[in-house]
Structure 1
Amino acid sequence: MTDIYIDPSRANFEAFKDLPRDEPIHMLNLLQYRDKADYPSGHDHAEKGWSGRRAYEEYGKTSGPIFRRVGGSILWRGIYQTVVTGPDAMQWHDGFIASYPSAAAFFEMVKDADYQAAVVNRTAALSDSRLVRFSPSEGGEGF
């Protein structure tokens, strides 16, 4: 069975926190949606019958103002087509790269009370995900 990842493990989050906080970061997000969103019992959206994709749209709508306030932006967004190199089971519905002016900005976002209320939509939406931090570097014509 393949491991499922929705939220960071304590060890991974500690490693993230140990990296420099005062430099720009890019976060690769790979998303696999549930067929039906899985909200906690009693949540306002629990009985709406939303798809995982619809719940993730709600996450984007409710977390977006905080993301933008801390200086975040989307550099690239794509919709999965096929795996070229990698296991056949590695199929993502969507992917994007979010840019933050600093890791401190990312921390500011995730500690925000409104963001914490919004993240329930992300958790309900996803059956699996990856969130990978990169240090930005220059693009160009070569690899």
Structure 2
Amino acid sequence: MAVDPSGTTLSAALSEVPDGPVVMLNLLRFAPDGRSSYEEYSHRAGRFLRKYGAELLYAGDGTTPLVAEDGQDWDAVLLVRYPSREAFGRMVADPGYQEITHLRARALSEAVLQPTVPWTSGRDA
């Protein structure tokens, strides 16, 4: 299963709606004994979030899902706000950040990394 964005998917995501902030949804499934590696990654990644103007909005553990098919539950959820898709792209391309990505890859058996944008005003909820 994929845990890091590929060049193709990253390029496509960065080319969409380039202006304005983006909130990245992170759905994480840890590999056996992967949580400690992810905690180390998170600790070291904080420096890069600050450098590129990003902010961790929420991090939490998943509990029993109310609506989900078998296998659709997640160990953890994170929401990270970036000032722009371009800032996210610069961060993941940073050589210093690249040096710590192995910690994230080793920690996860599966992940979803999905950019989101705010609904426009007037849209029905």
TM range (shorter): 0.7 to 0.9
Match of 2:43 in 1: 61
Match of 2:31 in 1: 34
- Greater Cα offset, 94-103 or 6-15: 6-15
Instruction: List structure 1 segments (4+ residues) > 6 angstroms apart after TM superposition.
Output: none
So what's the TM-score if we normalise by structure 2? Answer: 0.88
Distance 2:102 2:47 in 1: 16
User: How far apart are residue 17 of structure 1 and its match?
Assistant: 2.3
**Structure 1 gap segments, 5+ residues each:** 36-50
Q: For the aligned residues, what is the CA RMSD?
A: 1.9
Match of 1:104 in 2: 86
Seq. identity, %: 33
Match of 1:6 in 2: 3
Distance 1:22 1:138 in 2: 14
Task: For 1:104, give the aligned amino acid.
Answer: E
Which digits, 9 at most, give the CA deviation of each residue in 1:11-68, with x for residues without a partner? 4223202213231000000111111xxxxxxxxxxxxxxx200000111122210111
Task: For 1:84, give the aligned amino acid.
Answer: L
Contact preservation (8 Å) 1:59, 1:119: yes
User: How far apart are residue 7 of structure 1 and its match?
Assistant: 1.9
What is the number of equivalent residue pairs in this alignment?
Answer: 123
Which digits, 9 at most, give the CA deviation of each residue in 1:46-96, with x for residues without a partner? xxxxx2000001111222101111111111222111222221211211101
Contact preservation (8 Å) 1:31, 1:129: yes
- Greater Cα offset, 5-14 or 120-129: 5-14
- Greater Cα offset, 117-126 or 8-17: 8-17
User: How far apart are residue 9 of structure 1 and its match?
Assistant: 4.1
